Amino acid sequence: MKKVITYGTFDLFHAGHYNLLRRAKELGDWLIVGVTAERFDRERGKLNVHNSLIQRIEYVKQSGFADEIIVEEFEGQKIEDILKYNVDIFAIGSDWVGKFDYVKEYCQVIYLERTKGISSTQLRNEKHQIVELGIIGTGRIANRFIPESKYVSGVYVKGVFNPHRDSAKKFYEKNELDFYSSDFEEFSSKISAAYIASPHLSHYNYIMQCLECGLHVLCEKPMVLSKSQAIEVYNFAKKQNLVLLEALKTAYSPGFVHLISLVKSGVIGEIRDVDASFTQIKDGNTREFDPKQAGGSMTELASYVLLPIFKILGIDYKKVQFFPFIKNGIDIFTRGILEYENGNGSFKVGLGVKAEGDLIISGTKGYAYIPAPWWKTEYFELRFEDANQNRKYFYKFDGDGLRYELNEFVHRITTNSSDSAEYLFKKCESIAIIEIIEKFLLIT
């Protein structure tokens, strides 16, 4: 008897799951399906899972293809299962190509072509929609977004748009999407939400076009480069009753969110100083170094360093000063200081100068120390005069972190809520950050 095994979350059971199980069953005589336990999904960084384990097992059962259903509870279980059940074939969707080659040592591995254009199946009767999303742009960040999207349940990356048809086609082929287009009208008619990952200067037009077509928008930071445009796009989104979210991953990551709530709760006293630094030495031929494409350290990195300053000290600063170092028309390093009534915010950003990338929040009772990369908050310490009181905090920050912003985006669409929870990223904070970048661009 030929035994086949496959694994999955099988949340919001759809035609892609059904086809996968059918094809896996066709590979042999006996199909074992491993359904992920809630804790395991949390551990592997899968977000936004709607259905309970029992409900997901029920879907798999109802499909009629599984001869045996088991629960996947821990990393490394696959090898144990293969040995325990004497499995001949390990089958999984082609979105995981290469990822499970390590089990080739124990059985045959078959990647089955994933289903395009997923729809819900008759097996599922609850109303949760799956957000069909299109990507605008095919650059580095768009490429990083695709693997991250697999870890957010309830979203399906359907197609890609690029005015250069060849680039769109290449991206579509590489990522096995449903379609590609260089025609915006065609692109927008096939999706309900868009992720804008194109160069800075194209954001405004794309946002307006998407909102006009009724698409929810997740836009890379900086969303736009002027305060008036920021207000305009947010107002338009509100008028259209659509979600518009600026993609600043740090703001939505669990460790950073907890850091902000802890600091706001007063554990280190009243905050008098927030000092954030983020430098990233890059090769000089990219868009980031092109003054004609709004390149520079501030446009590239200021959104990150201003986030903790505004979250903690607020957006009502009295004065801002910049100390940039300009080379070939762009700031390769900038130090900035924001003066407040009762404190200071300061930052350093650099694409051509390296500095320690930490975040220090100083209060009247103690301080928070968050080492680099604090923008992917995994660890921080609260430190006090009496070192016995010091505390260390550890968090998970999975993958690239893009899954956290996508998770928030999908959550807001499906729950029809347009405003952030108190500690997440507020529109007024996003606008204040953009205003600082605009002030900087005006003086340089």
Query: Which stretches of the chain bind ligand C2G, using CB under 6 A?
Result: 7-11, 16-17, 20, 36, 72, 92-93, 95-96, 114-115, 118
**Cα separation, 203 vs 441, whole angstroms:** 17
Beta bridge partners of 125: none
C-alpha neighbours within 13 Å on the C-beta side of residue 69? 21
- Which residue's CB atom is positioned nearest to ligand C2G? 93
Query: What's the closest the beta carbon of residue 23 comes to ligand C2G, in angstroms?
Result: 8
In the bound state with ligand C2G, the residue whose beta carbon lies nearer, of 114 and 124, is: 114
In the bound state with ligand C2G, the residue whose beta carbon lies nearer, of 67 and 73, is: 73
Beta bridge partners of 320: 338
Query: What's the closest the beta carbon of residue 287 comes to ligand C2G, in angstroms?
Result: 32
In the bound state with ligand C2G, the residue whose beta carbon lies nearer, of 78 and 348, is: 78
Query: What's the closest the beta carbon of residue 5 comes to ligand C2G, in angstroms?
Result: 11
Task: Name the token pair of 267.
Answer: 């554990």
Tally helices (H) and strands (E) across the chain. 13, 19
In the bound state with ligand C2G, the residue whose beta carbon lies nearer, of 382 and 406, is: 406
Which residue do the tokens 């066709």 mark? 26
In the bound state with ligand C2G, the residue whose beta carbon lies nearer, of 118 and 242, is: 118
The answer to whether 73 touches 9, Cβ cutoff 8 Å, is no
In the bound state with ligand C2G, the residue whose beta carbon lies nearer, of 36 and 346, is: 36
Query: What's the closest the beta carbon of residue 6 comes to ligand C2G, in angstroms?
Result: 6
Query: What's the closest the beta carbon of residue 2 comes to ligand C2G, in angstroms?
Result: 19
Query: What's the closest the beta carbon of residue 113 comes to ligand C2G, in angstroms?
Result: 7
| Torsion of the alpha carbons at 13, 16, 20 and 22, rounded to the nearest 10 | 80
Task: Using DSSP bridges, classify how beta strands 366-370 and 359-363 pair: parallel, antiparallel or unpaired.
Answer: antiparallel
In the bound state with ligand C2G, the residue whose beta carbon lies nearer, of 77 and 250, is: 77
Beta bridge partners of 380: 393
Q: What is the per-residue burial (b if ≥16 Cβ within 10 Å, else e) of 284-298?
A: eeeebbbeebbbbbb
The DSSP code for 129 is P
Side chain identity at residue 420, one-letter code: S
C-alpha neighbours within 13 Å on the C-beta side of residue 84? 9
> Which residue in 269, 244, 243, 298 sits closest to 441, CA to CA?
298
The answer to whether 40 touches 2, Cβ cutoff 8 Å, is no
In the bound state with ligand C2G, the residue whose beta carbon lies nearer, of 10 and 180, is: 10
In the bound state with ligand C2G, the residue whose beta carbon lies nearer, of 54 and 443, is: 54
Q: What is the per-residue burial (b if ≥16 Cβ within 10 Å, else e) of 255-265?
A: bbbebbebbee
Side chain identity at residue 8, one-letter code: G
In the bound state with ligand C2G, the residue whose beta carbon lies nearer, of 11 and 435, is: 11
- Which element (helix H / strand E) includes 379? strand 379-384
Query: What's the closest the beta carbon of residue 175 comes to ligand C2G, in angstroms?
Result: 12
> Which residue in 248, 270, 269 sits closest to 257, CA to CA?
248
* Cα torsion 430, 432, 437, 442: sign: positive
Strands in 391-394's sheet, in edge-to-edge order, are 319-327, 330-340, 343-350, 271-279, 359-363, 366-370, 379-384, 391-394
The answer to whether 260 touches 308, Cβ cutoff 8 Å, is yes
In the bound state with ligand C2G, the residue whose beta carbon lies nearer, of 59 and 161, is: 59
Report how far Cα 210 is from the mean position of its chain's Cα atoms: 20
